[in-house]
Structure 1
Amino acid sequence: MQQNPQNQDVSLQIKKLDNQILRRIHSLYDRRKMQECTLQNMWVTDFLFHQEQLGEPVFQRDVEEEFAINRATASKMLTLMEEKGLIRRVSEDRDGRRKELRLEPAGRKLQQRYSTIREELEQQLVSGFSLEELDLLRCFLARMQANL
């Protein structure tokens, strides 16, 4: 079969890789055991955990920026995460309208499970790459994100 030149588009290649990554992650965990948590829930708990380790408070706007999602999507996702007992929103002392996002025990447990999955996936993804190649890849990906 002859290769379609459009199949070489970077955007299509990234989408294919994304599909493969999602399939691989789903093969590594059972959603029922993890309270039907989505991959986005896992990524957010991991983000909150690491920001907490740095002593940095996290607000909805930070989640929107980190994951390149819009306000409505972030709000709905965070509300569902709160209903699942993964996070809680705490009013900020200086401005009661702003709600800091904090991990609940169930969110910490999810983050610990996800951390193992993430490490395994990362090792598999970057296998055979030199440190220089990985640095270049990260640079290229950051430039593509900035271009959009």
Structure 2
Amino acid sequence: MQNFGMVIKQATNQMNKHMDTYAKQFGLTGSQMSIIDFVGNHGQVLQRDIEAEFAIQRSTATLTLQRMEKSGLIQRTAAATDARQKAVSLTPKATKLKQKITAYIQGQQQAMEKTFTPAEQAVFNRMITYFIQLNGGAHD
């Protein structure tokens, strides 16, 4: 029998490695690419939204966002609704990269959708969702 945890870990590692390789041509990491895509799709988000979306700790998000701000990819301002929260938005530099980032992510998604039937995709989603919940995470 296949060890599901090991296969998920291998798939995640390979996906991250591939994404990092693609991101490198733009001077980014895969994580930064994902954040640019997320923020770009929402216009402006709070740092806590990024933490929730990527299931990362506040300290990790803060460090990543500080690096992105220093690189001129994002800007952080006090949120209009709560000055203790930071609102994150893309700079023109990141906005220019957004189309290429989205194309990469959509290409990955389309490859999976083309390869597997809707029924297979539904089973995969059900299994992954269960695995996330089994390990204490939440999944929409």
Instruction: Provide TM-score, normalisation by structure 2.
Output: 0.84
Which of 84, 100, 110 is the equivalent residue of 1:123? 110
1:98 maps to which residue?
A: 85
Q: Select 2:5's aligned residue among 4, 7, 11.
A: 11
- 1:51 alignment counterpart: 42
Greater RCO (Cα-Cα under 8 Å, separation 6 or more)? 1
Take 1:26 and 1:88, find their aligned partners in 2: how far apart are those partners? 22
Asked whether 1:87 is paired with 2:74, we answer yes
Tell me the TM-score normalized by structure 1: 0.80
Aligned to 1:110: 97
Contact preservation (8 Å) 2:23, 2:30:
no
- Structure 2, unaligned runs of 5 or more: 136-140
Kept in 2: contact 1:51–1:58 (CA 8 A): yes
The verdict on how the C-alpha distance between 1:126 and 1:91 changes in structure 2, with shifts beyond 3 A counting, is same
How many residues were matched structurally?
A: 135
State the secondary structure of the residue aligned to 2:115. coil
Note if 1:64 corresponds to 2:51.
yes
For the Cα contact (< 8 Å) 1:25–1:121, is it kept in 2?
Answer: no
Q: Runs (4+) of structure 1 moved beyond 6 Å?
A: none
Q: What are the equivalent positions in structure 2 for 1:35-46 lying under 5 Å apart?
A: 36-46=27-37
Q: What amino acid is aligned across from residue 18 of structure 2 in structure 1? A: R
CA RMSD of aligned residues (A): 1.9
- 1:17 and 1:127 map into 2 onto residues whose CA distance is 18
